[in-house]
C-alpha cells in the first residue's frame, strides 16, 4: 500500500478553515469535507485557534512558557539547596 505524503497547512489556512466553520453556518464535518481534510484535524485546529484567542499566545509560545516555568522552579530549588549548603558549611567552619 502506498502512503500519501503528509500535507502541511499554514497557520493562515487553519485560521481561515476555522473561520469558515464559525461563519458559514455549515457543520464542521461539511467544511472538512469541502477542504478535503479529516473532521478530527479541523476540530483540533478549532481548539488551537480558540486557545490562541484566549491566551494571545501561539501553541509554540505556550509550550515555551511551560518549559520556562519548569526551568524556573528547578532553579529556585537549586538556589534553596545551595543556600542551605552554604549555611551548613559556614557553621561547620566556625
Per-residue pLDDT tens for 70-88?
999 999 999 999 999 999 9
> How much is the pTM?
0.61
- Our count of domains for the chain comes to 2
- Contact status, residue 81 vs residue 87, Cβ threshold 8 Å: no
Q: What CA–CA distance (Å, rounded) separates 87 from 83?
A: 6
Eight-state DSSP code of residue 62: H
| Domain coverage including residue 12 | 8-56
Does the residue 18 lie in any domain?
yes
Write out pLDDT tens, residues 34-73.
999 999 999 999 998 988 888 888 878 888 999 999 999 9
Within a domain: residue 1?
no
Burial grade of 30 (CB within 10 A; 0-12, 13-18, 19 or more): middle
Instruction: Indicate whether 49 and 75 sit together in one domain.
Output: no
Instruction: Work out the pLDDT band at 6, boundaries 50, 70, 90.
Output: confident
41 and 14 both lie in a single domain: yes
40 belongs to a structural domain: yes
Amino acid at each position: 500500500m502506498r502512503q500519501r505524503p503528509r500535507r502541511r497547512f499554514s497557520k493562515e489556512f487553519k485560521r481561515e478553515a476555522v473561520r469558515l466553520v464559525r461563519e458559514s453556518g455549515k457543520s464542521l464535518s461539511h467544511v472538512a469535507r469541502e477542504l478535503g481534510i479529516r473532521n478530527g484535524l479541523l476540530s483540533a485546529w478549532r481548539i488551537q485557534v480558540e486557545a490562541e484567542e484566549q491566551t494571545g499566545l501561539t501553541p509554540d509560545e505556550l509550550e515555551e512558557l511551560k518549559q520556562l516555568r519548569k526551568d524556573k522552579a528547578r532553579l529556585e530549588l537549586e538556589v534553596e539547596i545551595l543556600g542551605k549548603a552554604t549555611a551548613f558549611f559556614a557553621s561547620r567552619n566556625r
